[in-house]
């Protein structure tokens, strides 16, 4: 009997050991599940509390070379730094299209509007849309014609250059080019030039045209304008205009003044088609001075290869950085320049990005 009881007791002990072992094994799994649940809950809470603000960015047209570089730099910053979600719109150089896109973005519940306006004279209509929606608005690159529009909405700002600076710097570059004695192809003692204009309805194009010529006049240089054409910032339209001028005045044109590098490249393409500006020589018989604005990579390459003479750098990275910093603040409901290195000019609403001359030296 004792042996039987002993065997029974041992069996009971073994069974209890199995249950205790199972309990010990299960406990960590339960703890792990609870920890994972708590961790997931915390992550979900963080995601909910850290929802990114939506910013709508309107480009007057993706096809513009300079604008495309700003877009690329801006998106790179957003991807690297985070903090905002971006909706992009291509205005395709049509103000009516852009107006519809602004309405669309507002209906999607964005937190800020960044507008590279198509028609600089349409700024008031854009402000009215932003004001009605109660959204902060940043115009950038293309400055409204009438600075008084900002006074109609306290949440409107501008990021861009001081438009006359590009023209003045371009004129200085041309003055130095003329002083070097590499021009005056027809020997008439005058600087004979053609002008490729961005558009008569654009304040930047008007200022660049006016101040580049004024800088030359102020330097005491006698000028002769052979021709002018509105090429709407486009390379192909600039080439068409230059083709026409070269057919009549190939031996008379000393300098091409272009409001942007895209049009300057168009002029170079036309010049090369008739054996000029090939890069082999910059002698006056076979070379016409070509000057643009923006310092795009294509223009820098042309200057390096000695087919173009100079440009004025409009800093795309600096533009994108200011746009990102102010947009992030605006979307989050803080002052546009709070905690940034930026300041307003005397107007109290504009942040200015400086130009710089570029000749590749």
216 and 267 part of one domain = yes
187 and 298 part of one domain = yes
Contacts for 309-312: CB closer than 8 Å, 24+ residues apart: 309/173, 309/177, 309/359, 310/170, 310/173, 310/174, 310/177, 310/357, 310/358, 310/359, 311/173, 311/261, 311/264, 311/358, 312/165, 312/166, 312/169, 312/170, 312/173, 312/355, 312/356, 312/357, 312/358
Chain centroid offset of residue 260 CA: 14
83 near 77, Cβ under 8 Å?
A: no
Spans of the chain below 70 pLDDT: 1-50, 182
Residue 47 included in any domain? no
Looking at the structure of the chain, the number of domains it has is 2
156 and 175 part of one domain = no
CATH number of the domain residue 224 falls in: 3.40.50.2300
207 and 324 part of one domain = no
187 and 146 part of one domain = no
Specify the DSSP class assigned to residue 122. Answer: G
Residue 228 included in any domain? yes
Q: Which residue has the tokens 């957003």?
A: 78
Residue 26 included in any domain? no
Residue 156 included in any domain? yes
127 near 151, Cβ under 8 Å?
A: no
Q: What is the pLDDT of residue 70?
A: 97
Q: What does the block give as tokens for 358? A: 């570029």
169 and 251 part of one domain = yes
Q: What is the pLDDT of residue 115?
A: 98
Nearest to 116 by CA among 92, 134, 132: 92
Residue 197 included in any domain? yes
Residue 332 included in any domain? yes
Q: What is the pLDDT of residue 17?
A: 44
Alpha-carbon torsion angle 172, 174, 180, 183, nearest 10:
-160
Q: Which residue has the tokens 């008084």?
A: 148
Q: What is the pLDDT of residue 29?
A: 41
262 and 322 part of one domain = no
Q: What is the pLDDT of residue 6?
A: 41
Q: What is the pLDDT of residue 5?
A: 41
The phi, psi pair for 174, rounded to 5°, reads -70, -40
Q: What is the pLDDT of residue 147?
A: 83
277 torsion bin: left (phi>0), alpha (psi -120 to 50), beta (else): left
Q: What does the block give as tokens for 192? A: 């004979």
118 and 224 part of one domain = no
- R_g (Cα) of the chain, nearest Å: 32
> What is the span of the domain harbouring residue 330?
53-160+316-355
Q: What is the pLDDT of residue 180?
A: 81
pLDDT in tens, 115-124: 999 999 999 9
Q: What is the pLDDT of residue 151?
A: 87
Q: What does the block give as tokens for 160? A: 């861009």
Q: What is the pLDDT of residue 50?
A: 52
Q: What is the pLDDT of residue 281?
A: 84
Q: Which residue has the tokens 């107006």?
A: 99
169 and 309 part of one domain = yes
199 and 149 part of one domain = no
Residue 87 included in any domain? yes
180 and 294 part of one domain = yes
The phi, psi pair for 155, rounded to 5°, reads -100, 20
pLDDT above 70: percentage of residues in the chain: 86
Beta pairing partners, 87:
56
What's this model's pTM, rounded to 2 decimal places?
0.78
202 and 149 part of one domain = no
For residues 271 and 278, give the distance between their C-alpha atoms in angstroms, rounded to a whole number: 8
Q: What is the pLDDT of residue 146?
A: 87
In DSSP notation, 74-99 reads HHHHHHHH-SEEEEEEE-TT-HHHHH
Residue 152 included in any domain? yes
């Amino acid at each position: 009997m004792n042996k039987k009881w002993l065997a029974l007791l041992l069996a009971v002990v073994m069974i209890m050991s199995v249950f205790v072992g199972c309990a010990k094994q299960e406990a960590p799994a339960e703890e792990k599940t609870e920890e994972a649940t708590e961790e997931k809950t915390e992550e979900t809470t963080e995601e909910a509390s850290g929802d990114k603000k939506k910013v709508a960015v309107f480009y007057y047209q993706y096809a513009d070379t300079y604008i495309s570089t700003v877009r690329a730099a801006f998106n790179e910053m957003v991807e690297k730094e985070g903090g905002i979600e971006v909706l992009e719109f291509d205005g395709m150089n049509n103000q009516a299209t852009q107006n519809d896109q602004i309405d669309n973005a507002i209906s999607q519940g964005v937190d800020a509007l960044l507008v590279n306006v198509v028609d600089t004279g349409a700024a008031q209509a854009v402000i009215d849309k932003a004001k009605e929606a109660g959204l902060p608005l940043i115009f950038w690159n293309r400055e409204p014609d009438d600075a008084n529009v900002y006074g109609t909405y306290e949440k409107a700002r501008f990021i861009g250059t001081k438009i006359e600076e590009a023209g003045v710097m371009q004129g200085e570059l041309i003055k130095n080019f003329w002083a070097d004695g590499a021009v005056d192809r027809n020997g008439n003692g005058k600087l004979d030039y053609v002008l490729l204009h961005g558009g008569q309805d654009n304040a930047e194009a008007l200022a660049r045209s006016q101040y580049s010529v004024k800088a030359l006049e102020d330097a005491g240089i006698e000028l002769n304008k052979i021709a002018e054409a509105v090429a709407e910032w486009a390379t192909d339209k600039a080439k068409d205009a230059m083709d026409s001028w070269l057919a009549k005045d190939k031996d008379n044109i000393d300098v091409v003044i272009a409001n942007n590098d895209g049009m300057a490249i168009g002029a170079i393409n036309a010049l090369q088609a008739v054996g000029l500006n090939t890069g082999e020589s910059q002698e006056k018989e076979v070379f016409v001075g070509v000057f643009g604005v923006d310092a795009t990579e294509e223009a820098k390459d042309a200057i390096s290869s000695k087919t173009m003479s100079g440009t004025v750098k409009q800093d795309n990275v600096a533009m994108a950085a200011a746009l990102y910093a102010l947009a992030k603040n605006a979307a989050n409901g803080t002052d546009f320049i709070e905690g940034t290195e930026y300041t307003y000019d005397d107007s109290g609403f504009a942040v200015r990005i400086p130009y710089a001359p570029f000749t590749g030296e």
